[in-house]
Amino acid sequence: MWNQETIHEAVEKQRSFFRTNQTLDIRWRKEQLIRLKIAVQTYEKDIAQALHEDLGRSEVEAYLTDTGVIITEINEMLKGLDKWAKPETHFSGMMCFPSTKTKVFKMPYGVTLIISPFNFPFLLALGVLAASISGGNTAVIKTSSKTPHSTAVLQKIISSAFPAEYVTVIDGGHDVADLCLDERFDKIFYTGSPKVGMHVMHKAADHLTPVALELGGENGNWCIVRKDADLWDAARKIAFFKLLNSGQICININQIAVAEEVADQFIGCLKEEFARQIGEDPLNNPEYPHLINEAAYDKCEKEALQYAERIVIGGKGNRETLKFEPTVIVPVDIDEPIVKHELFNPLLPVVTFRDQEIDQLLDTISGREHCLALYLFTSDMKWALDTMSKLQYGGGCINEVCTHLMVKGVPFNGTGHSGMGAYHGEWGFREFNHPSTVLIGKTKWNLSLREHPYHPKALKMLKWFER
């Protein structure tokens, strides 16, 4: 169905609709957000079923990580949009005399392209869409070809709520994505890998289109467990997070650095927590999600086999069901290949370090590409806050995992190889807006200081104004 001609036609219809200025009305935007919320609630069962068919997710996990988060995000936007969209008024300054008033209007970009990934096919499509709608834009959503059931439900949700000239869903593979990127959009929001993120930026450069990228990070996300940490608490939270979506989460823990003084005890805690939460046989637990496809399974299994002699937890899989056990590999050197790339699966390498050499560990981590998330477990809050204030990363937690994503009113995204831009709540509204500054001039009392012929005292007077 989708080819260059039909995609171009869809984009042009949206461009024509945007030019009607209907999306500029704040009350109208709020009505569209309500329509989106109702559609998500209406298709809640279909969303859960699609996530189970595509990723093996349970109904609880589907609501916890997709449906519930989308509704929460929309509610925040409905509550704050009037305030966020209100034009700002600034004093123009003495250099602009006799003008005293300057406005900053929050202007939508126009026609936006949202390229969503497979791991959270609803959240990372509709959550971003909500931000685009709040900003007053139209949107084309390009879904992942790896989650066909989710795409089918997304098409139902969008077509039930919006006309195609306002929001439309495009399915297909990488070739279709490239056809979309060949079009001139006014804003692109991509979620995925750094490699494809670079490709998106290259394509966007042809039209000088601004881009927001949410990327997993080339070297993965670090979790550091100090010797003074509450080991049981750390193990409980880390096990929960690594089980979630079978590790296929951009902010998930990619590798753990644990103080060697408590490493054995921590591994014991981690083993018990995995068993408590998912059972002794996770491959046959219906609540345990599976990897997205055979290619992802084969990649995971191949890497696990390379470290087979060092696997202390898990290590087995079932290619027919695409499930692979949570697998802990220890010890792993900090320079080994497995800790130098994003895993996106249930493998969990453990790097040990002497607690007194924590500065060397941090120096090594900070010398690599910036991670999307950083997690610290320690009772030394002063050290933790100091570390978080110095390293470069997207976001993170101290003595917790992933929940920074759920905090209202704060931004989310990475930096460098883990992304650019920010969204969620007001930050999502800002990401899909351009602030336009407009000075309101006067027709009387205008000064001639800036005009030819320059008076000998003009420079002196200008400097006085500046001071």
CB 182 within 8 A of CB 176: no
Q: Which residues contact residue 1 at a Cβ distance below 8 angstroms, ignoring those fewer than 6 apart?
A: none
Backbone φ, ψ for residue 414 (5° rounding): -110, -165
| Residues labelled as active-site residues | 214, 250
Other beta carbons within 10 Å of 302: 9
CB 2 within 8 A of CB 172: yes
Q: How far is CA 420 from CA 395, 401, 426, in A?
A: 12, 22, 16
Nearest Cα to Cα of residue 250 among 220, 288, 222, 223: 220
Tally the residues of the chain: 467
DSSP 423: B
The string of DSSP codes covering 351-384 is: EEE-GGGHHHHHHHHHTSPPEEEEEEE-S-HHHH
Q: In what order do the strands lie in the sheet with 187-192?
A: 167-170, 138-142, 111-115, 187-192, 211-215, 419-420
